[in-house]
Structure 1
Amino acid sequence: MSGGARRAPNAPPVHGGPGVLDLDKLYAARLHATRVRPYVATALFALHVVESRRVPTMAVDRHWRCYVSPAFVDRTPVEELAGVWVHEVSHLLRDHHGRSDRVARERGLSGPGERLRMNIAADCEINDDVFGDGLVRPEGAVLPRTLGLAPGELMEDYLRQFGLGPLTQGMVWLDCGSGADGLDRAWDLGPDGAHGLTEHERDAVRFRVAQGITGRPGSAPEGWRRWAEEVFHAPQPWRELLGAAVRSAAAGSGAGEDYTYGRPSRRSAGLPGVVLPSLRRRPPRVCVVIDTSGSVSDAELGGALLEVAAISRAVGGRRDLVTVVSCDAAARTVHALCGAEGIALVGGGGTDLRTGFAAALRASPRPDVIVVLTDGQTPWPETPPPCRTVVGLFPRDARDGSMDEENPDYEPDTPPPWARVVTIG
């Protein structure tokens, strides 16, 4: 068994002494934490305690085990231990290990130094608003202001804003375990160790905690409320969804199908002297209608060009089968896709994508799939086009003033039910 010694689950309580874990004190601290932060009670009691003399304080792994130093429990007041309980379980609830792994892959970060930075950044995300209101901040807790950073940001944001240096010299001891930064420790029991939670059990705990936060409005800090909203409405991988929607539309019945006499139908055998054509599958033709009205930003137009290239890959890389229409209040020239960087997006006025649909359907040959990239501030065709339609929707917030469309009472129509809608970004 890797890791430190572990007390049997059914062993009687042991009171503090030299080198012996004081479970009574530790569990009293957990009870205090549940009283002052009742919405995390489910998570606190889901943690399984593992006694270990190899951890500096308390640490967690991704399987929801909490490794505890007996010496740390002995010297720490119950009120501070309660804060450590909440801090450690916060790493797991906010999936800091999974997020650290993703950041490491995306930014090419590796090594213990970078993982220490991730642990510090994760602590900043938690500690800026988790303490107070009955929960005592433990001694040495890392705060954003300790590094000269603003509160209220996420681990990924903090990680960009500081490096290891004079301000972090006193934090080299910091180790919240693999549950905080994703890097396995020597004391971890691993996925096959006892008392670990499965992935489904971990998700169930997060969902229960999020329910507790949203069900008690005003009682949780802003960081926790934001986290709970994300648990209920997790962001979707929109690029994958858009590509899947295009592929699904292109593979649907009738899309990319035509009759040919090059290979006669097998039914011809039942009609002597008559040659029947067979149904042939061909690569689908796609027309991309890009909203170039004034309400779409330059950054969104640049992203639209990237999506055009991705759409061409979704239909097998046949750029000759992809055309692009730029459209504001009027449809512009239909471009064949040779290279996304060579497409001129012309516009800047009002929005009426009905002209874009009309231009796409006038093309010869007619497209099998129409993909519309827009912010949605447009009237839509009253009847569905005779082909599949996918709408990539740039998100808008009614509070940001971008919904006026030259009329303060303007309310854009929602995309029609006959279109498959994917929110971009």
Structure 2
Amino acid sequence: MGTATSSTVGSTASAPPAPLDVEKLYAARLYAVRVRPYLATALFALHLVESRQVPTMAVDRHWRCYASPAFVARTPVEHLAGVWVHEVSHLLRDHHGRGDRLARELGLEGPAARLRMNIAADCEINDDVYGDGLARPPGAVRPGMLLLPDGLLMEEYLRRYRFHPRSLEAAWLDCGSGADGLDRPWELGPDGAHGLTAQEHDAVRFRVAEGIRARPGCAPAGWKRWAEEAFHPPQPWRQLLGAAVRSAVSGPGAGEDYSYGRPARRSAGVPGVLLPSLRRRPPRVSVIIDTSGSVSDDELGSALLEVAAIGRAVGGRRDQVTVVPCDAAAQTVHQLCRAEGIPLIGGGGTDLRTGFRAALRSHPRPDVVVVLTDGQTPWPSAAPPCRTVVGLFPRPSRYDEDQEDYRPDSPPEWARVVTIG
């Protein structure tokens, strides 16, 4: 009997662990598709990978879903359906890309910081993703558990959230690099099998956004907001405007002039003739600010901030920057000393053509003209002899109260346009 018992114990100890119950997971995915049909494309795009190193389920940034066999075995199908939706939500909402940007912006490093990002991303998802047929899995982190309000984004939750005793039960969370951007040792990486390319990621997101917009009554508010941004992503306008100005001032011809201060090397080939050389100087920038009555005080404040940023973009040479306040008539051309010291006089109608004329009459003539306006103005009929960048304050509708049929022209094709705000 002793031998038999020993044999039985030995065979139990060497028995292989139970494999992943793939059929149960696929049944849970079908359940999720039935209650959240607009997520079907994304759910079926995930490639399933068995992993005993993840505590529950996780996703990497390449759209692979890692599942723990033990977790799947002990979790009901309806709760697994909620986990499927939760994990694919990380990828659809680009939490990995946003996590990387946050880490660079805020200087966040290490696993503790990434855990905070994971918790913040979970709060963004879990505040309205469950209900209406989709069960909330036990242990799902919600904003109320952390004394935070519903309806915020990952970035807002991260700035408000700090570790405290209520976080202890969330310490085991690990949704993978798809939730916070940090690659894990157990992930297959960019060269592993069955990952999606960046173009395929975008195609999946677009299809899901189409489905949500086609049936807006079926999706929570967070998903509706996401779908709108998928079609009309918010522009990082300060970076775009700064890049447009830097591109204009560094382009060929801007800030270049001939000078006899140093003879050209070609003079050696023409004895007795002194040839000028092409020299680079700091580019001159003229900023036209729309001060008409249709531009708010907040927008004028933003315009002054941009003037200061333009001064930095030309290497801090404020003597190379002039400012022209303009409504229906151009005001005095001001040399930039301090942005807050520039009087923004106006408040009437709008005709920025006078501002262009004033800027181009100034001596020396600018290499780049930057226009900050709401666009409700006529534009010059011909391109000025320099590069032009337009920072456009957005307007839901454009009209003239005195002429109901009047619609101002869009900024001309020869200008580089960036929407502000």
TM range (shorter): 0.7 to 0.9
Q: Is the 8 A contact 1:259 1:279 kept in 2?
A: yes
Partner of 1:72: 71
Distance 1:299 1:68, change over 3 A: same
Matches within 5 A, 1:21-420: 21-250=20-249, 256=255, 283-315=282-314, 317-340=316-339, 343-347=341-345, 349-352=347-350, 353-398=352-397, 413-420=409-416
Deviations along 1:191-221, one digit per CA (max 9) or x if unpaired, are: 3333333333323322332233334443322
Partner of 2:420: 424
SS of 1:133's partner is coil
Q: Is the 8 A contact 2:249 2:368 kept in 1?
A: yes
Partner of 2:11: none
Partner of 1:3: none
- Give the Cα separation in 2 of the matches to 1:346 and 1:375: 15
Displacement of 1:25 in angstroms is: 0.5
SS of 1:43's partner is helix
- Give the Cα separation in 1 of the matches to 2:279 and 2:273: 19
Q: Structure 1 counterpart of 2:164, which letter?
A: G
- Give the Cα separation in 1 of the matches to 2:67 and 2:164: 29
Displacement of 1:107 in angstroms is: 1.7
Distance 1:102 1:247, change over 3 A: closer
- Give the Cα separation in 2 of the matches to 1:140 and 1:348: 59
Deviations along 1:162-200, one digit per CA (max 9) or x if unpaired, are: 322243333222222221122333432333333333333
Unaligned runs of 5+ in 1: 1-16
- Give the Cα separation in 1 of the matches to 2:335 and 2:151: 46
Q: Is the 8 A contact 1:292 1:345 kept in 2?
A: no
- Give the Cα separation in 2 of the matches to 1:407 and 1:143: 53
Deviations along 1:369-395, one digit per CA (max 9) or x if unpaired, are: 211112234444455444332211122
Q: Is the 8 A contact 2:255 2:281 kept in 1?
A: yes
Deviations along 1:280-338, one digit per CA (max 9) or x if unpaired, are: 76554221112234544444334323322433444455433221122344433322234
Compare 208-217 and 292-301 and name the one that shifted more: 292-301
SS of 1:392's partner is strand
Q: Structure 1 counterpart of 2:116, which letter?
A: R
Compare 324-333 and 172-181 and name the one that shifted more: 324-333
Compare 138-147 and 64-73 and name the one that shifted more: 138-147
Compare 328-337 and 292-301 and name the one that shifted more: 292-301
Count of matched residue positions in the alignment of Structure 1 and Structure 2: 403
Q: Is the 8 A contact 2:290 2:327 kept in 1?
A: yes
Distance 1:181 1:266, change over 3 A: closer
Q: Is the 8 A contact 2:283 2:314 kept in 1?
A: yes
SS of 2:229's partner is helix
Distance 1:386 1:79, change over 3 A: same
- Give the Cα separation in 2 of the matches to 1:116 and 1:260: 60
Partner of 1:11: none
Partner of 2:12: none
Task: Provide the identity percentage.
Answer: 75
Displacement of 1:122 in angstroms is: 0.9
Unaligned runs of 5+ in 2: 1-15
TM-score of the pair, normalised by structure 1: 0.81
Distance 1:417 1:57, change over 3 A: same
Q: Structure 2 counterpart of 1:24, which letter?
A: E
Q: Is the 8 A contact 1:327 1:351 kept in 2?
A: no
Q: Is the 8 A contact 2:399 2:408 kept in 1?
A: no
Displacement of 1:112 in angstroms is: 3.0
Q: Is the 8 A contact 1:260 1:279 kept in 2?
A: yes
Q: Is the 8 A contact 1:351 1:377 kept in 2?
A: no
Compare 97-106 and 148-157 and name the one that shifted more: 148-157
Higher helix share: 2
Q: Structure 1 counterpart of 2:27, which letter?
A: A
Q: Is the 8 A contact 1:291 1:351 kept in 2?
A: no
Partner of 2:19: 20
- Give the Cα separation in 1 of the matches to 2:320 and 2:308: 12
SS of 2:333's partner is strand
SS of 1:142's partner is coil
SS of 2:241's partner is helix
Distance 1:407 1:172, change over 3 A: farther
Distance 1:264 1:118, change over 3 A: closer
- Give the Cα separation in 1 of the matches to 2:169 and 2:206: 36
Partner of 2:3: none
- Give the Cα separation in 1 of the matches to 2:408 and 2:172: 55
Compute the RMSD of aligned alpha carbons: 3.3
- Give the Cα separation in 2 of the matches to 1:253 and 1:156: 40
Displacement of 1:68 in angstroms is: 0.9
Q: Is the 8 A contact 2:288 2:355 kept in 1?
A: yes
Q: Is the 8 A contact 1:295 1:405 kept in 2?
A: no
Q: Is the 8 A contact 1:328 1:350 kept in 2?
A: yes
Partner of 1:8: none
- Give the Cα separation in 2 of the matches to 1:298 and 1:194: 55
Partner of 2:5: none
Q: Structure 2 counterpart of 1:245, which letter?
A: A
